[in-house]
Every structure is written in C-alpha cells, then in structure tokens.
C-alpha cells in the first residue's frame, strides 16, 4: 500500500507542475535570491499531501514548503514538491517531484518524476531502481574520464568549505592532463 500511495502522490504533484509550466504564476524568494518558491511548489505540495493523507492520515511529513508535520508514526514522507524550482521558474523542463518514504529511520523507497520528459524513477530498498517501469543500473564504464558526470549546486555553494567545484574538480580532472581554462575559480 505504501508503494501505491507513493506513486499516486508523485503523479498528483506532477500533474500540478504540468498545469503551471510556462504559465503565469507567483514567484517568491525564501532565504536567498536563488532560493525560490512558486505557486506551483505550494499547489503540488497540497496535491501530494492530500494523496498521502487519504490513506495515511497519521504519517509523519517532512516537506520543503510545509516543513515538519510531526506525528508519533514510524513512517515519514520526505517531500520536495518541485525539485528544481529555479529551472521551473525559467521555463526549463529539468525539474521534478521527489518523494522518499522512511520507516523506522531507514529510507525504504522513493520516486522522482519529471512530467515534462515523461521520466518516472522508482527505487525500493533491495529491489533496485526503474525508469518508467524498466530496470536501470549505474554505468558500466570502467574509466571515470570517459563517463558523463553531472552535479547540482546548492544555493549557498560559494560559502561552503567543500563547495561543489572543489569536490567535483578531482573527478573532472581524473585521467586528464590539464583542465580547460576558466573551470577552477581558485
């Protein structure tokens, strides 16, 4: 029943994102100029919470916009109703609904849905991961230099002692003699 509810909640959030995408909606800043929240974030969260509460009204919720809705339940839903709000606000379809389920302090399943690219990822502990119902796995490339590496940058990345550029740099330079100019900011 948890899996069915997770899938239903994730899809409900995705439908809301599709309704708002490239439309007119309210955008506000939270902690910084790049830490945005939109009307779509809030409405997707409402749809997700509604779908979860239909079946599990007493479960613990940790959601990006609503914060903690604490209950004594041993099951916690961890929700980002619009993961990639900056992209969404700029009309870039690289954003998704992200929801995880934790039981007794252990994450047991999660879903990530990008409704604009029709990509629905699902993973369950001990069962592997799927994309649109088909099993997926990590790359079999044996050399890091021939792999495709992707990262994201948190809103406060320049203030972090191990910011993503510093952490990512050794991965980027693995197997290469020199880096292209302009990559390292130090």
Q: What is the pLDDT of residue 152?
A: 67
Pairing of strands 134-136, 128-131: antiparallel
* Residues across the chain: 186
Q: What is the pLDDT of residue 186?
A: 38
pTM metric for this prediction: 0.80
Token pair of 31 as six digits: 């902690």
Angle between helices 39-55 and 2-20 (to 10 degrees): 160
Instruction: Give the whole-angstrom CA distance, residue 116 versus residue 125.
Output: 27
Sign of CA dihedral 130, 135, 137, 139: negative
Burial class (CB in 10 A: 0-12, 13-18, 19+), 68: exposed
Q: Which CATH superfamily is domain 2-136 in?
A: Fructose-1,6-Bisphosphatase, subunit A, domain 1 (3.30.540.10)
Per-domain boundaries in the chain: 2-136, 144-173
The answer to whether 91 and 22 are in contact (CB under 8 A) is yes
Residue pLDDT tens, the chain, 186 long = 999 999 999 999 999 999 998 877 776 666 665 666 678 889 999 999 999 999 999 999 999 888 899 999 999 999 999 998 888 888 999 999 999 999 999 999 999 999 999 999 999 999 999 999 999 998 888 877 677 767 666 666 566 666 677 777 776 666 554 544 444 433
Q: What is the pLDDT of residue 178?
A: 52
């Amino acid at each position: 029943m948890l899996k069915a509810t997770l899938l239903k909640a994730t899809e409900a959030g995705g439908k809301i994102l599709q309704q708002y995408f490239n439309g007119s909606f309210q955008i506000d800043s939270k902690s910084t100029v790049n830490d945005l929240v939109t009307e779509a974030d809030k409405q997707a969260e409402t749809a997700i919470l509604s779908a979860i509460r239909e079946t599990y009204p007493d479960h613990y919720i940790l959601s990006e916009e609503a914060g903690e809705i604490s209950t004594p339940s041993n099951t916690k839903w961890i929700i980002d109703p619009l993961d990639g709000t900056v992209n969404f606000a700029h009309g870039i379809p690289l954003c998704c609904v992200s929801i995880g389920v934790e039981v007794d302090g252990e994450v047991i399943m999660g879903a990530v849905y990008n409704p604009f690219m029709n990509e629905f990822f699902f993973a369950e502990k001990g069962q592997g991961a799927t994309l649109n119902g088909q099993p997926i796995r990590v790359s079999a490339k044996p050399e890091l230099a021939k792999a495709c590496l992707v990262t994201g940058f948190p809103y406060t990345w320049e203030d972090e002692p191990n910011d993503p550029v510093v952490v990512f740099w050794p991965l980027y330079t693995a197997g290469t003699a020199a880096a292209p100019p302009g990559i390292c900011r130090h």
